[in-house]
Structure formats: C-alpha cells, structure tokens
Amino acid sequence: MATLAAAGNPQVRNAEVHRPPPTGPCALVIFGITGDLSRRLLLPALYNLARQQILSDNFAIVGFASSEIDEQALRDSLAADLRETAGPAADTSIIEWLVSRIHYVALNFLEDAGWQTLRQALSTVDNAYRTGGNYLFYLATAPQFFLAITTRLTAEGLMDDSGGRWRRVIIEKPFGHDLESARALNRALLTVVRDDQIYRIDHYLGKETVQNILVFRFANGIFEPIWNRRYIDHVQITVAEKAGVGRRGRYYDRTGALRDMVPNHLVQLLALTAMEPPGSFSANALQNEEVKVLESVQPIHPDECAACVVRGQYTGGVLGGVPVPGYREEPFVDPQSTTETFVALKFAVDNWRWAGVPFYLRTGKRLRERNSEIVIQFRNAPLALFRRSGASLPQPNSLVIGIQPQENILLEFEGKVPGPAIETATVDMHFDYRQYFGAENRTGYETLLYDAIIGDPSLFKRADMIEAGWAVVQPILDAWAMGRGGNLYEYQPGSDGPEAADDLIRRDGRSWSPLSL
C-alpha cells in the first residue's frame, strides 16, 4: 500500500516524509475516456501523480470510446478540464506533457474494427514511449460491459503477461446488482483472467483519512486497547450527499441508495473500523481480516427489517434558497418510482470484540450537507462523582473521523469550565490533513492508480470481499422484495433524512451526530 507524500510542513514531528519511487513503464488504456469519471477523477489524479514526479516518463494513455471526436480535439478538451480543475495553481507544462501522451480509438469496443485499432495504438505507444508491453486496462464503462470487455481482452491476447511484462484490469463499481449476480460475475471473470490480474476498485479506499484508520488504530498504543465493546458504546458511519441524482436517473432508479452505497463504501468503512489487527500490511493479511469481520455481521431477518432499516425518498423543496425537484421529478426517473434515495441501518457484528455494540449506518441524497464520517461513541464514565457534586453530568467522549469534504480527526472530551463551580463542557482536539501536512487537493484515485501500476492490491477488493459486502445487504433486498421492509418515508431536501431514521437510533437511547459541519 503506497503512501503518497504530501508537501513538507515544519509541524510534522518524528517523521521523515518520503516520496515513493516513480512507477515503471506502463500504458493505461481507459475504456470510456470521454465519460465523466475520466474527466473529473482519473485525469486529475494522473496530473497529480505527474506533478509529484512519481509517474514514469515511459507512460502513455490510450483512450477507447465511441464518441466521434478526433484525437487532438480530445486532448484539447481534457487539457481545458485539467486547467479548470487545478485552478490558478495549474502547471501547464505538466498538463501539456500528460495530454500529449493521449492516443484515442474512436470506435465501438464491441466491434472487431475497434480492437484492431486498439492493438495498433498500443504498438505505437510501446515503440514511442518504451512502455514495455505493460498494460493497465481501466473499465470506466457501464457495468454491463465489464465481462464482455475483459473476455475480449483475453481473446485478443492482451491479458497475456508472459515474458516479464504485466497486464491488469481495473473494474469499477457496481460489481453486481445483488449477491448472486456478484458471484456470477466473479465466476465468469475468473474463467478468462486470473484473480491477481483483477483490481476491483473502491475510490473511498484512496482517501487519506480512510487509509489513516489503519494507522490510527494500530500505530497508537492509546487507542487500540480501548477499541472494543468494553469501552465503545456504538459506532455511526455516515455518507451524506447534498446533491440529487442529477442526470443519473436511469442508473439510479434501477439501483437505489442501498445497492449504490452500502455493499461497497459503507461496508468497507465498517470493515476497516471493526477488523482485527492484521499480521502485516500485506494485501492478503489486510483483506483476510476485512472478510472475517464482514462475515461476522449478523444478517437482518425479514421480520426485523422494518425495525432495523429505514428507507426514504426526497421530495421537492428549497435547498440553499434554490428550488429543487423531488426525486420523482428528476430526469429519467419513473414518476411513480419507489426507489429509495436514503437508507439508515442498524447492524450487529457478532464477534468477541464487538458483541453488543450496534453499528448505525446511513447514506442519502439531497441532505443538509455533503459529509462522510465515522463516529466512535465511547461509553460514559461513571457518573456518581458528578451526581454528588451537583454538577451537570458530563457527556460521553467521541472520536470523529472525517472523510469528505474535510479529511480530519476530532477527539471530543470533557473539560472544566473556568470558575468556582464544578461544571463541565465538551472540548476537542482537532487534526486536519491539509493544515498539518499541507496536503493538496486530491481526487482519491491517485494512490489507487499508483498502486495498480506498481502491482500492490492492498487497497483493492478480492472476490470474497465483494461477495461478503453483498451478503450483508442481501437479506434486506429479499425482505423488500417480499414487501416486509416497512414504509418508504419522504423527507425534505436540506434535512437530515426522514424522521423515522431518528427514531431508529432514538429507540436505543442514542442520537445521530449532526450533519452540519
């Protein structure tokens, strides 16, 4: 697992910040290079790697898409996007260096002519940039093309890694639509490529704060001893979005919040929070522990689904002073849709460390703020002393790990209010990545692309991890299909979700951490 160096800061103590070595020679083939993922995330991530001088000079990009745009026009368009993303600090020389290495195949990747042209383009970049026949294929396409493209890559000999070269394929989410489809896709892929050639990506794992969960837990002797049921009351994991579905209505109306976010992003955060210490930071050791904890999540029985799961759908209203449509008024959405845009869940991890500690998860669109965080709520201290003093009772301590838009860690604890009386107030210690390390804006894909090129799968998902994530939510999908999942609640844009989500946690004598930053 690579750790990309941030800008130096004199505040950084007891650590020497190292820049990782540059990647080796490589041609990156992006299927769907004209799409939103490439423009917003992949190219900016490659720009950041080049700016950090850890992208090899023997590097090139081959784009493959059916958009009728010529190669130079594509380069110009992507360069303009990069300048806009980087803002006033944009390094035009790096942008020009990067886009000059883009070659484009403007054909359908399901037709023979496109594959013949792709082979010619790869031969060209191998000779021009000495990429050594090392290919990283990135499937930035609709999921229905994952298997067809991978099968054709093998049929064309493009996954043949004999002779000391390497060939790998990155597959984006969604990986399947439910547990059975995920298993079927894994089985089918493994008939055409080896598992060590497949890099199943979850961009949340590229975020510094997510990776720092492991360091925070296992490198600090003051936290790991209390990271268990004896000291922790409950855990909250939130991934909230302020935006609606936008132009993604066709995809989202078939998917919904549960399928879109829980088996991947939220379950991954749960695994990193709850996993046992691995024997090392090797890929297998990390992934083994993640799978173990996911297999310990108790399935939600259909009879318990309405009590443990809340689903909601946003209505029309006003957000930030601007009128916004309801979900059913969004483009490409069925006007009678019952697809959920919000879901809150209560899980139990049935193992020695977490027995009796509930994990509350929630995610949704059109909420109050864009905010992703993990809240570790500790058990309250014995209150007898404060009852006898007549002082107000102290609040439980909490640890907040912010993931986006702010990458930070906040430890809240009680301190004495100045004055003669014994009064307490909640105070905090705050660590912010950008302030402390001088970190620049990142997309979350930098580390993942770097690791895929150097062949480090630590932050990617194995087949059993994907299936374990789907196994967590499959009983809920089954209950909903049987009509036993409770009501679909409406909620206003700019709220924290439906009131029923507050009831879910309030029944246990707890409350959600506020969404406002």
- Domains of the chain by range and CATH? 26-172 (3.40.50.720), 205-506 (3.30.360.10)
CA dihedral sign of residues 89, 91, 92, 96 = negative
Place of tokens 């990193």: 272
Q: Are 212 and 447 in contact (CB under 8 A)?
A: no
Residue 424 has pLDDT above 80, yes or no: no
pLDDT at 440: 65
pLDDT at 407: 84
Between 82 and 407, the higher pLDDT residue:
82
Amino acid identity, position 264: N
Q: Are 2 and 448 in contact (CB under 8 A)?
A: no
Q: Are 172 and 140 in contact (CB under 8 A)?
A: yes
Residue 447 has pLDDT above 50, yes or no: yes
Q: How far is CA 424 from CA 52, 314, 384, 416, 472, in A?
A: 46, 39, 15, 4, 41
CA distance 386 to 143: 58
Residue 13 has pLDDT above 60, yes or no: no
Q: Report helix angle 463-481 to 249-261, nearest 10.
A: 110
pLDDT-based confidence at residue 128 (cuts at 50, 70, 90): very high
Residue 17 has pLDDT above 80, yes or no: no
Q: Which of 103, 203, 234, 265 is an active site residue?
A: 265
Mean pLDDT for all residues in the chain: 90
Residue 10 has pLDDT above 60, yes or no: no
**Looking at 104-118, 120-134, 410-424, 489-503, which range is the least confident one?**
410-424
pLDDT tens profile 220-271? 999 999 999 999 999 999 999 999 999 889 999 999 999 999 999 999 999 9
Is 18 considered catalytic here?
Answer: no
pLDDT-based confidence at residue 111 (cuts at 50, 70, 90): confident
pLDDT at 439: 61
Does this model's pTM top 0.85? yes
Which residues make Cβ contacts (< 8 Å) with residue 308, sequence separation at least 6? 300, 345, 346, 347, 504
pLDDT-based confidence at residue 59 (cuts at 50, 70, 90): very high
Vertex 329, ends 326 and 333: CA angle to 5°? 115
If you average pLDDT over residues 466-481, what whole number do you get? 96
